[in-house]
């Protein structure tokens, strides 16, 4: 993706750079996440999770029963929006390093939309 700016919008540029860094981290951990992926729990062919981190532009997780991909944009309408205070909170949930209920109670994670899909997200990378 190439972004062309016609005005001096450095805040937006910096925010998009942070989003790209988050995507880079997720892509670096793709092999590990693939081993943990539990797409069989999804009840439809494609689920789009919009992931909002702090005030950065959202990223998207397109998940199917067989595969997943993290993207900076999507042509599909998100099924649910997940809000995180920081990228580290998202990673902690994806890598099962934190209790999502505790994070929710601390106000570090919340969702809007399909509550069942928001709960399935918490188990999407927990195989076993």
Run of H or E residues at 89: helix 87-94
Q: Is 112 part of a structural domain of the chain? A: yes
Domain count for the chain: 1
pLDDT the model gives residue 61: 97
pLDDT tens profile 11-56 = 344 344 455 688 998 999 999 999 999 999 998 899 999 999 987 7
**Domain assignment of residue 21, given as a range:** 10-123
Res. 2: pLDDT tops 80: no
Q: How far apart are CA 5 and CA 103, in angstroms?
A: 37
Residue 48: which CATH number? 3.30.1050.10
pLDDT at 57: 84
pLDDT of residue 22: 86
Q: Is residue 128 part of a domain?
A: no
- Residues 24/31, Cβ–Cβ less than 8 Å: no
At residue 63 the predicted structure's pLDDT band, cuts being 50, 70 and 90, is very high
Confidence of residue 73 (pLDDT cuts 50, 70, 90): very high
The model carries a pTM of: 0.81
Pairing of strands 80-84, 68-71: unpaired
């Amino acid at each position: 993706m190439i972004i062309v700016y016609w005005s001096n919008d450095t805040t937006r540029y910096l925010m998009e750079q942070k989003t790209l860094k988050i995507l880079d981290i997720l892509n670096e951990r793709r092999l590990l996440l693939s081993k943990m992926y539990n797409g069989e729990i999804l009840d439809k062919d494609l689920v789009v999770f919009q992931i909002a981190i702090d005030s950065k532009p959202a990223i998207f997780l397109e998940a199917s029963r067989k595969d997943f991909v993290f993207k900076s944009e999507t042509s599909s309408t998100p099924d649910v929006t997940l809000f995180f205070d920081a990228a580290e909170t998202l990673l902690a949930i994806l890598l099962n390093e934190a209790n999502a209920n505790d994070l929710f109670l601390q106000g570090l994670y919340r969702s809007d939309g399909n509550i069942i899909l928001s709960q399935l997200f918490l188990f999407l990378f927990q195989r076993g």
